[in-house]
Amino acid sequence: MPREIGFFVFPDFQILDLTGPLAAFQAADTIAGADAYRLHVVSREGGAVMSTAGLAVLTRPIGELGFDTFIVAGGRGSRQSAPSDPFGDLVRPAAARARRTASVCTGAFILAAAGLLDGRRATTHWRHAALLQQRFPGIRVDGDRIFVHDGPLWTSAGITAGIDLALALIEDDLGPVISRAVARDLVVYHRRAGGQSQFSTLLELQPQSDRIRQALTFARDHLHEPLPVERLAAAACLSPRQFGRAFRAETGETPAKAVERLRAEAARLRIESGSEPIESTARAVGFSDPERMRRAFLRLYGQPPQAVKRDARTASQNVTATMRR
């Protein structure tokens, strides 16, 4: 029997918050070949609902429809949901009928205004995380996560993070094989882990030229290998001297420091989402020894890898305890 997935939209919603996750569930339904999902787009009154992009989407009135999974889109209209909470009379009963409820981007404001996130961990687009925390101090807002799963509630960061959320929900339903197949079908990397930061070293460095971007991408894909400046320069098709000057001018960092940041970022993701020993993680991402990785973590994150691992384990245990209640 197909799982009913309901997407709730409202005037001035973000179109990609709907179409990204919707496309993932649609692909899963096709790939699974077993009528896995039935998709619905709903609103307060039904009919055409205008997005911030100027594109209208035809919807059904939500009424008393029941869904296995109820997903609230984000967008400019969602941030106006406090303090008046105009959607609470719709969202609260829909969430009560659903096995799980989720939000994409600032859809978290709607869930929060409805009281569904009280006492829970949640995330939203990094730009609006502080406002969410200010308006709803009873929520533990983690504005640096791709998505957060706390009991039956799932919240995700902005825009494309909704696809990561959908892939995680699909994996929860149908397993990792189907989820990976959906990612390939959508031509995206297999979903980023929920604990992964919304920010990335590659985005923060923001080189201007294709050659420097090419060198950074090469470094990210070969972190477990030695990456002297000569090798990065070759990837950029520049001499080592030209490359060093161009890299510093475009990123504000030396190639060695940038590689260290990439390795630390990759190590942190492995530590937060896995259970391998710290020593194995250090080797896997190219640190010559755990002590060098520890020093990099202290410089970049203000805490050693062991503390990151401990925090991740505690968060996981809290989620498990919440699910058992």
* CA neighbor of 215 nearest in space, from 238, 194, 183, 195: 238
State the catalytic residues. Answer: 105
* CA neighbor of 94 nearest in space, from 48, 132, 60, 125: 60
Contact 103, 74 (CB under 8 A): yes
* CA neighbor of 8 nearest in space, from 73, 85, 75: 73
Fill in the amino acid letter for 218.
F
Cα–Cα distance measured from residue 286 to residue 279, given in angstroms and rounded to the nearest whole number: 11
Cα–Cα distance measured from residue 29 to residue 172, given in angstroms and rounded to the nearest whole number: 14
β-strand partners of 153: 101, 150
Provide the token pair at 279.
Answer: 């020593």
For CA atoms 137, 155, 61, 13, the dihedral sign is: positive
